[in-house]
Copies of this chain bind each other. A is one copy, B any other.
């Protein structure tokens, strides 16, 4: 075993021991720990900003794009947001100990299904240092030990945040090793972590396609991915176009760089001539790429290629295709979509129902913008990510999704 592997496995083993202790900590104490973590960050605000400045300087020298540098930056306002977010999480209901179902066996034994922590969660992410605190706090609130592995470009920031969170948490009752940051920059550390069967219970990667692919390829413990969103809006034959226009504009333009933003618009052929020119007027600063029918109606649209239907632009670019029917729209979404968030605009109930049933996405919208796929909007209070997987958690993942369950059976001597 390499030294690095020994080191990572020993961190994971320590986290597992911490997870056993975390299972026994009550709601009030968990919330006190979270508030202590917030205080620690408040106290060490200057140190965190100084550490972040080191990362920013290195990032500039390394030629990071301004978008990446922006993601990396921890301003005073962002630290205030981090603190507020931790304090808010402390006020949320405890996801552990919920009675999920309860039945009585014919022999009198009660069978309760109760939410419990998952155990040890490894979070692997890229540049945003605020994930360090967000992920730590949500995992701990759900009673899980957490192992963080951030991007190397944010190494100083992540370390400063970790130090600040831990500075007061131990005194508030956080078990040792319940929050670990893997600092070794060697990429092989990630491989060892995601193969630590029996020590790590869940891996949540957040980042670009190459990070997600590498982890999926290497992982031997369960992974819940936060992958891409190739989201669609379908403007149906029976659409209220006055409703469709703001929905498409909002889904595309309100925040184009996020996963629930619109990427491909599908328009029913019978409404295309009426709808597309009006849309072209509305989306003046959006680059349009369309099929032949779209180009005929919107001369400024560039020709769309096969790649465009697959694209998650995360930018002010919109692919447009004219379709013959709701069937063709659904087939397009089945073929090119990422099962994230897809919407129909239609006033026809049968068409709505067909779309809702057949489109197999985490969130299916009828007459609303795809931009609502978000833990906060869904009423979860907080979000650790949006699962594009199908097992355990689908769509926004809040605190409840960071728990599993066990059965507790109470008898009076029952035998089979």
Contact = CB atoms under 8 A, between A and B. Distances in A.
Interface in A199-251: 201-202, 216-217, 220, 222, 224, 240, 243, 246-247, 249-251
> Do most interface residues of chain A lie in helix, strand or loop, or is the interface mixed?
mixed
Interface in A353-390: 356-358, 360-369, 371-373, 377-379, 389-390
A68 B144 CA distance: 42
A27 interface: no
A349 B39 CA distance: 38
Interface string A118-139: 1100000000000000000000
A23 interface: yes
Interface string A395-416: 1000000001111111111111
A357 B216 contact: no
A30 interface: no
B216 A413 contact: no
A66 interface: no
Interface stretch (A103-111, A146-154, A277-285, A309-317): A103-111
A394 interface: yes
Contact of A413 (B201, B246, B389, B407): B246
Contacts of A364: 406-409
Given A118-B390, A395-B407, A372 B414 contact: yes
Interface residues of A, number: 65
A372 B409 contact: yes
Contacts of A34: none
Interface of A: 20, 23-24, 103, 105, 109, 111, 116, 118-119, 197, 201-202, 216-217, 220, 222, 224, 240, 243, 246-247, 249-251, 254, 334, 356-358, 360-369, 371-373, 377-379, 389-392, 394-395, 404-416
12 contacts: A20-B360, A103-B379, A105-B372, A105-B379, A111-B379, A118-B391, A202-B390, A360-B406, A366-B408, A367-B411, A368-B415, A391-B391
